[in-house]
């Protein structure tokens, strides 16, 4: 029977240890001192370990209160405990009513201890679940690591295959480059062979028509030195003077073979001007041929012997190396006026010396604009690095830059207008001393050479 004015508290708890009880009471009952907490823990454990008996709690141990006045100890409630078959303890306590007297917080703490023990069981269950989850995650992690390892191995194999493929591609590119080089060399050799076959064919035809040309060049030179008067009287012409002396006295295209060696070359022979025997080395008449050419083109020659052309520096060198030659330059302006310049001495050196010019002994119907300024100058072209050749757009014996430029740009009408002038300077077919300007381009120009000792045939 519970006394009136009291309330009954019933809890079933698991018996904790002394240390656990002490920690829980210190945490849940911060107002209780260490000594009191220890005492209460011992008391609570003792209550749990004995049979269920009614107990009275002394009032002297209320929260922060001393002994009450009266007969000594105040009965603030009774409790009993009982061990259940499952090993837990059942506590039944009767608490007093009223606020004037307070009992210790043991029963409240016991209620909270039970609550936290229950929470602890839930936490244990959560920990077990977490352990199971961690175990599953670790297994999944091991599986992922295994997959990563497999992917790494596959990647290494792919990299190896790619490296092998790249190496094969590089090898193929190298072989292709080598094959292209060999093909280029083969094409060059075939071209050279075809050129040599063509030269042999031309030479064979030439020898067939000129049997005396079978003699080596050195032998022919020896014969010419022994009999200079017979230099041009032969069936193997070395220039247009030889053609003239052989009885061919009509202007046209003929084959000659310079005595310094080489292959036969075709030349335009002028047989009407001043007795004939002239080998034409340059001709301008209508602007049909572009003279803005490279060094190699000026060396080999270009154009059409029936129209405009440059005979070629190498051919000019071979011809003028056979003896003493003179130069004649015939010019015509756009008013059909003709003038000429004559030079007693003319020759050019070989390519190793940049076809250096030697010209002297001027006479003619126009003032000199060639020998006095261009003599002993090297030949240059726009691609040879000479700034004058680049400005003048042609090949010539330039010298800061020119007073004559017979291989310049062909401007129809003579004077080029201001809008047609080049920014860097004049570049027309110029003979400065005739028009007193660099900006007048001539209509026709013919440059031709013949031996200085040439004597035309006088008809009876």
In tens, the pLDDT along 246-302 reads 888 999 999 898 876 667 889 999 999 999 999 999 999 999 999 999 999 999 999
- Euclidean distance between CA atoms 242 and 276, whole angstroms: 11
Residue 198's pLDDT band (boundaries 50, 70, 90)?
confident
Residue 166: its pLDDT value, please? Answer: 82
For residues 68 and 276, which has the higher predicted lDDT (pLDDT)?
A: 276
**Is the pTM for the entire model greater than 0.85?**
no
Residue 211: its pLDDT value, please? Answer: 59
Q: Where are the domains of the chain?
A: 240-451
Query: What sign does the CA torsion over 133, 138, 139, 143 have?
Result: positive
- Three-state DSSP class for residue 268: strand
Phi, psi of 350 (to 5 degrees): -80, 180
CA 272 and chain centroid, separation = 62
Q: If we measure between CA atoms, which residue out of 132, 76, 84 comes closest to residue 104?
A: 76
Superfamily of domain 240-451: Gamma Fibrinogen, chain A, domain 1 (3.90.215.10)
Residue 77: its pLDDT value, please? Answer: 55
CA 222 and chain centroid, separation = 61
Under 8 Å between Cβ of 416 and 438:
no
- Euclidean distance between CA atoms 240 and 320, whole angstroms: 12
CA 245 and chain centroid, separation = 64
Burial class for 352, CB neighbours closer than 10 Å (0-12, 13-18, 19+): exposed
Mean pLDDT over the full length of the chain: 78
Under 8 Å between Cβ of 232 and 224:
no
Helix-helix angle 34-49:18-28, to 10 degrees? 130
Q: Has residue 345 got a pLDDT over 90?
A: yes
- Euclidean distance between CA atoms 384 and 395, whole angstroms: 10
- Euclidean distance between CA atoms 120 and 438, whole angstroms: 114
Under 8 Å between Cβ of 370 and 403:
yes
Tokens of 29: 């009952």
CA 146 and chain centroid, separation = 43
- Euclidean distance between CA atoms 245 and 255, whole angstroms: 14
In tens, the pLDDT along 95-131 reads 655 554 555 555 555 566 677 777 888 888 888 998 8
Under 8 Å between Cβ of 287 and 410:
yes
- Three-state DSSP class for residue 303: strand
């Amino acid at each position: 029977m519970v006394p009136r004015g009291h309330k009954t508290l019933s809890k079933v708890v698991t018996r904790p240890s002394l240390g656990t009880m002490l920690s829980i009471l210190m945490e849940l009952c911060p107002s209780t001192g260490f000594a009191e907490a220890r005492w209460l823990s011992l008391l609570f454990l003792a209550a749990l370990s004995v049979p269920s008996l009614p107990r009275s709690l002394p009032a002297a141990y209320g929260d922060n209160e001393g002994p009450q006045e009266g007969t000594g100890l105040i009965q603030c409630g009774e409790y009993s405990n009982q061990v259940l078959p499952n090993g837990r303890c059942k506590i039944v306590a009767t608490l007093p009513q009223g606020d004037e007297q307070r009992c210790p917080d043991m029963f409240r703490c016991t209620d909270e201890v039970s609550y936290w023990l229950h929470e602890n069981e839930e936490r244990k269950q959560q920990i077990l679940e977490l352990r199971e989850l961690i175990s599953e995650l670790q297994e999944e992690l091991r599986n992922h690591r295994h997959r990563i390892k497999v992917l790494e191995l596959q990647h290494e194999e792919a990299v190896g295959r790619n490296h092998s493929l790249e190496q094969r591609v590089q090898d193929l590119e190298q072989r292709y480059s080598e094959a292209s080089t060999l093909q280029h060399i083969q094409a060059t050799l075939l071209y050279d062979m075809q050129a040599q076959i063509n030269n042999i064919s031309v030479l064979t035809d030439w020898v067939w028509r000129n049997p005396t040309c079978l003699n080596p060049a050195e032998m022919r030179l020896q014969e010419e030195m022994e009999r200079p008067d017979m230099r041009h009287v032969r069936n193997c012409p070395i220039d247009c003077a030889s053609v003239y002396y052989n009885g061919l006295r009509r202007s046209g295209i003929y084959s000659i073979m310079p005595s310094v060696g080489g292959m036969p070359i075709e030349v335009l022979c002028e047989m009407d001007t001043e007795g004939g025997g002239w080998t034409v080395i340059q001709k301008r008449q209508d602007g049909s041929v572009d003279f803005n050419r490279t060094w190699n083109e000026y060396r080999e020659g270009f154009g059409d012997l029936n129209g405009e052309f440059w005979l070629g520096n190498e051919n000019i060198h071979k011809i003028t190396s056979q003896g003493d030659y003179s130069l004649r330059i015939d010019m015509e302006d756009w008013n059909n006026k003709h003038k000429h310049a004559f030079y007693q001495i003319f020759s050019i050196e070989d390519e190793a010396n940049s076809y250096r010019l030697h010209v002297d002994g001027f006479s003619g119907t126009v003032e000199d604009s060639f020998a006095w300024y261009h003599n002993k100058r090297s030949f240059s072209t726009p691609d040879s690095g000479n700034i004058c050749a680049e400005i003048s757009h042609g090949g010539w014996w330039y010298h800061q830059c020119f007073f004559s430029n017979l291989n310049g740009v062909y401007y129809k009408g003579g004077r080029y207008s201001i809008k047609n002038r080049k920014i860097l300077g004049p570049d027309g077919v110029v003979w400065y001393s005739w028009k007193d300007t660099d900006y007048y381009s001539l209509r026709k120009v013919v440059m031709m050479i013949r031996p200085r000792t040439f004597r035309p045939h006088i008809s009876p």
